[in-house]
Chains A and B, each alone.
Chain A
Amino acid sequence: MSVLPLDAGQAAGGSVKRRLRAALRKPAGVFGATWLLLLVVASITSPLWLPHEVDEQDLAAALAGPSGTHWLGTDELGRDMFSRIVAAAGEALIGSAITVIVAFGIGVPLALFAAEHGQQAERVVSRITEILLALPGMVILLAVIGVIGPRIYIVMAVLGVMISAAVYRVLLAVAQSVRKRLYVDAARVNGLGSLAVNVRHVLPAMLTTIAVQAAQLFGIGLLIEAGLAFIGFGPRPPVPSWGDMIQAASVHITDDPWLMVPTGAVLALTVMAANELADAISGGAPKPAPRLARMRRRAAVTGPAEPRDPTAVLEVRDLTVAVDGGPALVTGVSSPWRRDLCSAWSASPAAGRR
């Protein structure tokens, strides 16, 4: 139930389409997209092919392990785990999708508004969202359930409202940086209306971040939804839900530990798929830390050399500095420096450094 700190995926560089395509070329992105797609298709088409009815009981085969008839085993009432897991996917995915849609439905316009209307508007909106973020979300969700009952979709929408604060925070930074760019000013000077500027310039720049965040939030939504169902505030039985199934399995942890595996693994894999997709879109592997300096041995061509000028304190001879596996940046620099002098390399900036 830990809520990820939403980090802005590096918004720079490349359109969303290109990012998505690039993401789908990475193994993590492929896994994420495939798994989610598979789950969506499976849950939509499930009435057509599920091997067992969701509430079909087979008490004789209760708590059985995986077998030919029950691929993932059966629960305490002999119901088929595989069928129940697939059947429960729909509700889980829709619930989480509602959270995501509400969060962005509120967060995006707020960010656009605050970025457009200057400091004061931004300050007001930011304070409100900060407060929203500082509230104990789970307790509030439970309070909502206490008032309106376990109506999952509404509860997930409320979660969306609370998470919209986090969405706003990340997107505001992106929107502000886009607005600072000149072409947005130019567009405004050219008479483009506020809505048009937002739709044509600001929004497209935010799309990559939105895609990353949406995938991440989707995973968070799934976890929270399952957590609520786990403590009994999910869909009413006999409608299956992942959280409730894990709860039921936990009761049988002593006599049938296997029962814990299928549902938990599917839930974890689904969340993981969303996270992996988010990572893949945001640009994949995080950059490694710089090594704290190392001096690469020079090419073994030159033998043990002796300084040419014995009076020099520092003598640079035929120095070549190169990008590893790339072009040389400095070639054949030689110069002796004598003691107690002030000397200079006067380099054109572009060549002296990168």
Chain B
Amino acid sequence: MVGYVARRLAFAIGTVAAASVLSFLLVHLTSGSPGAIVAGQGATPEQIDAANEELGWNRPLVTQFADWVSHVTRGDFGTSLSDGHDIKADLFARLPVTASIALLATLLSAIVGIVIGVTAAVRGGRLDRAVTAGSSIAVSLPAFWVGVLLVYALSIRTTLLPATGYVPFAENPVEWLKSLALPAIALAVGGAAIVARTARTGMVEALRQEHIRTLQAIGTPPWRLRYVHALRFASAPVVSVLGVQFIALFGGSIIVENLFALPGLGQATQLAVGVHDLPAVQGVVVIATVVVVITNLLLDLLVAALDPKVRTA
């Protein structure tokens, strides 16, 4: 168990390091100069060069990287090139919005997907075929399109849920949930379909295991066979698919935030990317990676807790 956790932790750190290097190189090897943005439009080459010098852009790459890393590890992502705000403060204010959407969407996908997938596997027959067909439609629907349709159905035709705006959790938990419900549902449609498929396949596989036969031969009641033994067996693939899903839904939430006018990372990224605010872009990459990696680390621990082979190793 200790060895396993250590390995996963090392992997998580490696991933964050890789993301840092990647985002640093991406910015420094390919792009022209941030000085141009700081100096503003119509600046002379001398002005741009001076701005670059001031930003430390003209130093050797290694020095810049070391400098950047030492700042980032202290939580200093620098200041935005476009408006001069502290990037860390800005991104940390926005992170909860995006992370909440991704988390809610993952949770919703997990609950709905597992219930549907397990029921399909257990009931079989027509319901099973309907779920299989339905899930292949659901995975094909673009989340942002589903989002718009949801807005139309739930905010415009009826006024069940607000289409836009964000209420912080601390202010009013119920309103917070309401403000995030539509984006979370929009993302969860595809997510739940994928989880349902995985859960269904896992359950079918589990019910074919020899140990289920053993349990049957001593008269174990069917509900126990299904919902204790088979479900437990099928849990490992489902949990690992949830890890993949969280990454995907985090990305998806960046896109749907735009639609619901939510002040999350998506909005910040969109703004930063639009004006080539590279330090801010770097910050987003690092923070997003850290969030995704931590979530996956937690899911890895859950897998370990569920699997005695890992737990007892």
Interface bracket on A: 35 or more
Bound together, the chains give a CA A143 to CA B258 distance in angstroms of 17
Hey, which chain A residues are within 8 Å of B288, CB to CB?
136, 139
Hey, which chain A residues are within 8 Å of B191, CB to CB?
2
Contact, CB under 8 Å: A275 / B139: yes
Bound together, the chains give a CA A155 to CA B195 distance in angstroms of 28
Would you give the shortest CB distance from A127 to chain B, in whole angstroms? 8
Contact, CB under 8 Å: A136 / B247: yes
> How many interface contacts (CB-CB < 8 Å) are there between A and B?
213
Q: Is A75 part of the contact surface with B, judged by Cβ < 8 Å?
A: no
Contact, CB under 8 Å: B254 / A138: yes
Contact, CB under 8 Å: B289 / A148: no
Hey, which chain A residues are within 8 Å of B141, CB to CB?
268, 271
Would you give the shortest CB distance from B216 to chain A, in whole angstroms? 6
Contact, CB under 8 Å: A146 / B273: yes
Contact, CB under 8 Å: B225 / A223: no
Hey, which chain A residues are within 8 Å of B245, CB to CB?
2
Hey, which chain A residues are within 8 Å of B26, CB to CB?
143-144, 147
Contact, CB under 8 Å: A246 / B289: no
Bound together, the chains give a CA A100 to CA B248 distance in angstroms of 18
A sample of 16 cross-chain residue pairs with beta-carbon separation below 8 angstroms, ordered by A number, consists of: A1-B249, A4-B194, A138-B250, A139-B269, A140-B22, A143-B23, A143-B26, A143-B285, A148-B31, A227-B144, A243-B144, A257-B152, A268-B142, A271-B140, A279-B136, A291-B124
Given contacts A136-B251, A264-B142, A289-B204, contact A147 B241 (CB under 8 A): no
Q: Is A106 part of the contact surface with B, judged by Cβ < 8 Å?
A: no
Contact, CB under 8 Å: A2 / B140: no
**Chain A window 1-22, contacts with chain B (Cβ cutoff 8 Å), 1 for yes, 0 for no:** 1111101000000000000000
Would you give the shortest CB distance from A314 to chain B, in whole angstroms? 15
Bound together, the chains give a CA A210 to CA B266 distance in angstroms of 33
Bound together, the chains give a CA A148 to CA B152 distance in angstroms of 36
- Residues 194-208 of B at the A interface (beta carbon under 8 Å): 194, 198, 200-201, 203-204, 207-208
Hey, which chain B residues are within 8 Å of A293, CB to CB?
216
Q: Is B255 part of the contact surface with A, judged by Cβ < 8 Å?
A: yes
Would you give the shortest CB distance from B11 to chain A, in whole angstroms? 7
Given contacts A246-B142, A260-B145, contact A232 B270 (CB under 8 A): yes
Hey, which chain A residues are within 8 Å of B207, CB to CB?
289-290, 292
Would you give the shortest CB distance from A39 to chain B, in whole angstroms? 14
Specify which of B151, B269, B277 lies most central, judged by the most chain A CB atoms within 10 Å of its CB.
B269
Specify which of A2, A5, A136, A287 lies most central, judged by the most chain B CB atoms within 10 Å of its CB.
A2
Q: Give the contact stretch, choosing among A113-121, A248-256, A332-340.
A: A248-256
Hey, which chain A residues are within 8 Å of B273, CB to CB?
142-143, 145-146, 233
Bound together, the chains give a CA A290 to CA B222 distance in angstroms of 12
Bound together, the chains give a CA A133 to CA B12 distance in angstroms of 12
Q: Is B292 part of the contact surface with A, judged by Cβ < 8 Å?
A: yes
Contact, CB under 8 Å: A137 / B247: yes
A interface list, Cβ under 8 A from B: 1-5, 7, 127, 130-131, 133-140, 142-148, 219, 223, 226-228, 230-233, 243, 246-247, 249-250, 253-254, 257, 260, 264, 267-269, 271-272, 275-276, 279, 285-293
A interface, over-half SS:
helix
Contact, CB under 8 Å: A264 / B266: no
- Residues 13-44 of B at the A interface (beta carbon under 8 Å): 14-15, 18-19, 22-23, 26-27, 30-31
- Residues 165-181 of B at the A interface (beta carbon under 8 Å): none
Q: Is B161 part of the contact surface with A, judged by Cβ < 8 Å?
A: no
Q: Is B184 part of the contact surface with A, judged by Cβ < 8 Å?
A: no
Would you give the shortest CB distance from A83 to chain B, in whole angstroms? 20
Bound together, the chains give a CA A44 to CA B255 distance in angstroms of 30
Would you give the shortest CB distance from B107 to chain A, in whole angstroms? 15
Bound together, the chains give a CA A2 to CA B195 distance in angstroms of 11
Hey, which chain B residues are within 8 Å of A276, CB to CB?
136
Q: Which residue of A lies closest to B284 (CB)?
A: A139
Bound together, the chains give a CA A7 to CA B202 distance in angstroms of 12
Contact, CB under 8 Å: A5 / B198: yes
Would you give the shortest CB distance from B21 to chain A, in whole angstroms? 11
Contact, CB under 8 Å: B19 / A254: no
Bound together, the chains give a CA A153 to CA B197 distance in angstroms of 32
Contact, CB under 8 Å: B252 / A289: no
Specify which of A269, A291, A292 lies most central, judged by the most chain B CB atoms within 10 Å of its CB.
A292
Given contacts A130-B11, A134-B293, A136-B251, contact A268 B18 (CB under 8 A): no
Contact, CB under 8 Å: A260 / B148: yes
> 17 additional contacts, CB 8 Å, given A131-B11, A139-B269, A147-B278?
A2-B191, A131-B18, A133-B247, A135-B22, A136-B289, A137-B247, A142-B269, A143-B282, A146-B272, A146-B276, A148-B30, A230-B259, A233-B273, A246-B144, A267-B145, A288-B124, A292-B216
Contact, CB under 8 Å: A147 / B252: no
Contact, CB under 8 Å: B201 / A138: no
Hey, which chain B residues are within 8 Å of A2, CB to CB?
139, 143, 187, 190-191, 193-194, 245, 248-249, 252
Would you give the shortest CB distance from A236 to chain B, in whole angstroms? 13
Would you give the shortest CB distance from B224 to chain A, in whole angstroms? 11
Hey, which chain B residues are within 8 Å of A130, CB to CB?
11
Hey, which chain A residues are within 8 Å of B160, CB to CB?
none
Specify which of B136, B156, B198, B255 lies most central, judged by the most chain A CB atoms within 10 Å of its CB.
B255
Hey, which chain A residues are within 8 Å of B5, CB to CB?
none
Contact, CB under 8 Å: B190 / A135: no
Q: Is B1 part of the contact surface with A, judged by Cβ < 8 Å?
A: no
